[in-house]
């Protein structure tokens, strides 16, 4: 099974949402991980609250902010739009989703970002599942 890493600078918001949605929506096709080049003590409170409300997912139960060095070997690296350079993270495929950081924004902005990440997750699942070029 393919291993996918979602990478952001602090691994506290977008990449955490992507990891949670990957596990929720695509665990039959790929394993989801997230990490950052730096960490934060906690996952973004608004991300945690809205993911619980929208999907019933409690990210704080199974996820925490971690560094790239804590990831297992992965085949796919997805950067979230933070201009993160990951030379120490070898993979066979890499793409950037260019998603705006919702930190400090209102719930409607957060929910739009969560929906955008969900669309990307479902598309990635379809591409990996069909063995098309990722």
Instruction: Provide the annotated active-site residues.
Output: 8, 82, 86
Tokens found for residue 28: 């039959």
Q: What order of strands is seen across the sheet that includes strand 93-96?
A: 30-36, 2-8, 76-79, 93-96
Per-residue DSSP letter, 65? -
Please provide the distance, in angstroms rounded to a whole number, between the alpha carbons at the two ends of the chain. Answer: 14
Burial pattern 57-93, b for ≥16 Cβ within 10 A else e, equals bebeeebbbbebeebeebbbbbbbebebebeebeeee
Per DSSP bridges, beta strands 76-79 and 93-96 are parallel
């Amino acid at each position: 099974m393919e291993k996918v890493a979602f990478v952001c600078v602090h691994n506290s918001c977008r990449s955490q949402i992507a990891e949670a949605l990957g596990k929720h929506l695509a665990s039959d096709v790929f394993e989801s991980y997230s990490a950052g080049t730096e960490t934060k003590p906690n996952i973004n409170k608004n991300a945690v609250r809205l993911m619980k409300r929208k999907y019933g997912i409690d990210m704080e139960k199974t996820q925490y902010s971690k560094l790239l060095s804590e990831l297992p070997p992965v085949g796919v690296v997805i950067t979230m739009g933070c201009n993160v350079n990951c030379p120490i993270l070898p993979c066979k495929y890499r793409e950037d989703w260019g998603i705006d950081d919702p930190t400090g924004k209102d719930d409607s902005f957060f929910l739009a970002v969560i929906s955008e990440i969900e669309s990307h997750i479902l598309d990635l699942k379809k591409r990996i599942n069909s063995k098309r070029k990722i």
